[in-house]
Structures are given as C-alpha cells and as structure tokens.
C-alpha cells in the first residue's frame, strides 16, 4: 500500500486526489501533480500556463480541476471500463485514444459518447458582443455592456467604463474576437481589468482594436510579470447611430478616438 503524494497538497479534493475525486472517470497513473489539462464542467481543455490546482482555480474558478499527465476519460458500464473509448491526456498538449493514436482536432472539438467535450488545444480565442455608447469632441466618456464567451465553455456579463480622446462616437451594437497573446486560452475572467484601444469610423461603421493595458498606450496586449500575466488583444466592429467627428465634403462623417477603460466581469456559470 502506498500513500497518494497529493493527498496533503490538495486536501479539498479528498483522499481520491490521484483521480481528482472521480475514480471512475479519471485515473492519474503516476500519482504526481497534474500538468496542464483542466476539467471544468463537462469540458476538458489544455492550458500550458497552469501548473497546479491553485493556478487552475485562479484562472477558471472554483469548479476547475487540474488533470495530470496520463489521466484518462473512458467509457464505463456499471462503473467498469467497457473498452468502447478511452482518451489519455499528455502534458505536451496532445490526446491519444485507446489505440494510442493521437487525436486529430482538425475538425474541431471532440465530444465523447458520455458527453465530455475535449476542447481543441488550438482553440484559444473568445468572443464578445454588447451595446456601447460613447464619444469625444476633444475628450469624452464611454459605457459598454454585453456578454463575453471563452473556448472553455464559460460565459459572463461585462460592464465597461472609460475615457476617450479624439473626435466622433456613436450608440449601437459592437462585437469582436479576443485573442490571447500568451500560450493560454482566453478565459472570461481575463476580460476584467484595465485596457487601451483605438477606433476609427466612417459614417455608421467603425473598427476598433485594443487589449489589456500595457506599460504604454500602444503596448496593449503585452505580458507584464506579476501584473498582467494573461494578456490579450481584440478586434471589433460596430454599426451605430453615429454622430460624426469631422464632416467630409461628401457629408460622410469620419472620426477617430483612443480610449482607456476598466471592465468588470460577472460570471454566468
């Protein structure tokens, strides 16, 4: 008989630490600390920046579980492996099936017969959509509310408030894609905090790019150790009831602004 080396490190999980509280669905072959894969709800995904259970909870919430090298998801009948399918997780970001063949994620995520979704490790981007109001004639403010989604299956409501410098603005709908600039997949909790952006508009259509606040305005999306360790950039477009910044001879308004905002996130799962 041997002692599980993680029993004291993760007392909140119970004596079944070696299988993450689920001896039927998960088995950790070497009994050592999990590496890189995380289980959240029915989704399992890869994040090479997560090295322990504390990191997993900080990035993905209290229900996130860190999964170790060699852990498996497999089919059972009455709690016994029936051999229909088996997927093994490796800390290099790959998954192998019951025949030890690497899973091909070229067609997207993999969903098992048991309802577990293994997220394509290359699927790291999130999306957001919302309603925004803001503008500037020299200076001004902006407000935005909406929803943000990540590739791990989480969703959140967000609220942003900020200041603008420039000319132009509008009221309308906005949506975009969020791309992490590090190795991690985007998490909805990453959306919270300070950010910088620039936008330009022609008539009722505008384009915007921004990201997590860096050391300087144009340095958004940069990694800052101990301050911003999960940075991202986003690209967005919007169609608004627009009030022009500068009117052209063709009567089409054009505008441009730079903004600094702070965002609050409220998880919905």
pLDDT in tens, the chain (269 residues): 334 343 333 344 444 444 545 444 444 444 444 458 999 999 999 999 988 899 899 888 888 999 888 899 989 888 888 889 999 999 899 999 999 999 999 999 999 988 999 999 999 999 999 999 877 666 788 999 999 999 988 999 999 999 988 877 778 899 999 999 999 999 999 999 999 999 888 877 889 999 999 888 888 999 888 888 899 999 999 866 555 544 444 455 677 888 999 999 999 97
Determine the pLDDT at residue 140. Answer: 86
Q: What are phi and psi of 189, to 5 degrees?
A: -70, -20
At residue 97, the pLDDT reads 94
Which helix (H) or strand (E) segment holds residue 106: the answer is none
Q: What's the predicted TM-score (pTM) here?
A: 0.77
> What pLDDT is recorded for position 179?
98
Own/partner long-range contacts of 57-63 (Cβ < 8 Å, ≥24 apart) = 59/184, 59/187, 59/189, 59/190, 59/230, 60/152, 60/154, 60/187, 60/189, 61/154, 61/189, 61/267
- Nearest CA to 93 out of 115, 117, 119, 112 is that of 119
Q: Rounded CA gap, 81 and 86, in Å?
A: 9
CA gap 9, 223 in Å, rounded: 29
Q: What's the CA gap between 50 and 57, in Å, rounded?
A: 10
- For residues 241 and 133, what is the distance between their CA atoms, to the nearest angstrom? 10
- Contact status, residue 91 vs residue 36, Cβ threshold 8 Å: yes
**Both structure tokens of 104:** 């091909």
The Cα 25–Cα 67 span in angstroms is 12
Angle at 244 between CA 237 and CA 217, to 5 degrees: 55
List the one residue out of 130, 164, 172, 141 whose CA is nearest residue 256. 164
Say what the pLDDT of residue 190 is: 96
What three-state secondary structure class fits 53? helix
The answer to whether residues 240 and 204 touch, using CB atoms and an 8 Å cutoff, is yes
């Amino acid at each position: 008989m041997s002692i599980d080396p993680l029993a004291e490190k993760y007392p909140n999980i119970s004596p079944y630490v070696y299988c993450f509280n689920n001896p039927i669905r998960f088995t950790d072959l070497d009994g050592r600390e999990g590496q890189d894969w995380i289980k959240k709800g029915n989704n399992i995904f890869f994040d090479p920046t997560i090295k322990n259970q504390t990191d997993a909870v900080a990035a993905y919430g209290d229900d996130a579980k860190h999964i170790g090298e060699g852990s498996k998801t497999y089919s059972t009948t009455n709690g016994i492996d029936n051999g229909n399918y088996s997927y093994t997780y490796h800390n290099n970001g790959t998954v192998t099936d019951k025949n030890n063949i690497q899973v091909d994620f070229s067609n997207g995520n993999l969903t098992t017969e048991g309802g577990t979704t293994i997220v394509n490790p290359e699927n790291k981007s999130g999306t957001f959509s919302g309603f925004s109001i803001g503008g500037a004639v020299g200076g001004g403010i902006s407000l935005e509310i909406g929803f943000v989604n990540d590739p791990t299956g989480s969703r959140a409501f967000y609220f942003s408030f900020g200041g603008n410098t420039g000319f132009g603005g509008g009221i309308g709908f906005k949506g975009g894609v969020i791309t992490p600039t590090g190795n991690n997949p985007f998490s909805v909790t990453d959306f919270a905090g300070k950010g910088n952006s620039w936008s330009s508009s022609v008539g009722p259509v505008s384009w915007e790019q921004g990201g997590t606040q860096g050391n300087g305005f144009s340095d958004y999306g940069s990694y800052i150790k101990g301050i911003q360790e999960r940075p991202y950039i986003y690209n967005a477009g919007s169609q608004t009831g627009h009030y022009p910044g500068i009117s052209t001879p063709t009567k089409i308004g054009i505008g441009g602004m730079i903004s600094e905002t702070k965002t609050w996130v409220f998880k919905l799962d």
